[in-house]
Structure 1
Amino acid sequence: MITLGHAQAIIAGAIAHAQNAALKPLGIVVLDAGGQLLAFARQDGASFGRFAIAQAKAHGALAMGDDTAVLAERAKGNPVFFGSLVGVFDGGLALSPGGVLVRNGDGAIIGAVGASGDTGPNDADAVRAGIAAAGFATGAAA
């Protein structure tokens, strides 16, 4: 289970990574396993749209059970299906890296984090750094 304290630690770790890597300002969303918003932060200078994009990345990862970088690759081979999912989820699916599942020590999905503001791969790197800083795991289940 991700608590508010965990969510804040994830965001702090992601922001620290973004600052150290000189990324563009990010918006970062943390969702629990049920897709409910736990926390959001927008770095100074990030546009107002970053919340919606970050939330769609995190929501999409949870809804489909995989990081959005993986989903984006899968979408290349089946664009009609993945395009239809955007409508199914009322826009709550962004097929760009930056939505990452959060796993506990047993590999169970306990939430997701989404970031938006830099390139998709850089967004994902910041998210993974934040998740690791909070003591959680990412990646495929063992």
Structure 2
Amino acid sequence: MILNLAAAHIILTAALADAREREAKPLGIIVLDAGGHPLAFAREDGASLFRFDIARAKAMGALGMGADTREIAVRAAGNPAFFTSVAIATGGQLALSPGGVLLRDEAGAIIGAIGVSGDTPDQDEACAMAGIAALSHGAEA
């Protein structure tokens, strides 16, 4: 998988389509490259004000910690003082809720992340996974 602007748009479009199929609440979705630079972002009509910030914090947190935010949330439950410190040290670039998912190439190297915010954590994560699946199942970038 190559993560470029075209690939980011495929991921974003598929995640939004999945959200509408699920009748999810309005979402904010961001795709970041491995350096944390935004490649694509969408805020659906009706999404609340902080959706961009939360989606970005989910994606950045996944990148920064090297794990999906579902795993990070589990780890944070067992060590809240450390993860509170990380959130403070990074200026809030860590959201401890599912919906931040790493993007990996065929060799398993981290090439970016997607962050989704707006519905329940499980819905956010499912939409992120649908976006990734669209690219990894043959959609051309």
- TM-score normalized with structure 1 length: 0.93
Give the letter aligned to residue 131 of structure 2.
G
Report the alpha carbon displacement of residue 107 of structure 1 after superposing the two structures with TM: 1.0
- TM-score normalized with structure 2 length: 0.94
Q: For structure 1, which runs of at least 5 residues remain unmatched after alignment?
A: 137-142
Equivalences, count: 136
For residues 8 and 44 of structure 2, what CA distance do their matches in structure 1 show? 16
Report the alpha carbon displacement of residue 61 of structure 1 after superposing the two structures with TM: 0.1
Mapping of 1:122-133 within 5 angstroms?
A: 122-133=123-134
> Per-residue CA shift, 1:89-131, capped at 9, x if unaligned?
1110000000000011111110000000000111000001001
Report the alpha carbon displacement of residue 48 of structure 1 after superposing the two structures with TM: 2.1
Please list every run of at least 4 consecutive aligned residues from structure 1 whose deviation after the TM superposition is greater than 2 angstroms: none
Mapping of 1:1-142 within 5 angstroms?
A: 1-135=2-136
For residues 35 and 19 of structure 1, what CA distance do their matches in structure 2 show? 27
> Per-residue CA shift, 1:38-61, capped at 9, x if unaligned?
111011111121000000000000
For residues 52 and 59 of structure 1, what CA distance do their matches in structure 2 show? 10
CA RMSD of the aligned region, Å? 0.9
SS of equivalent to 1:134: helix
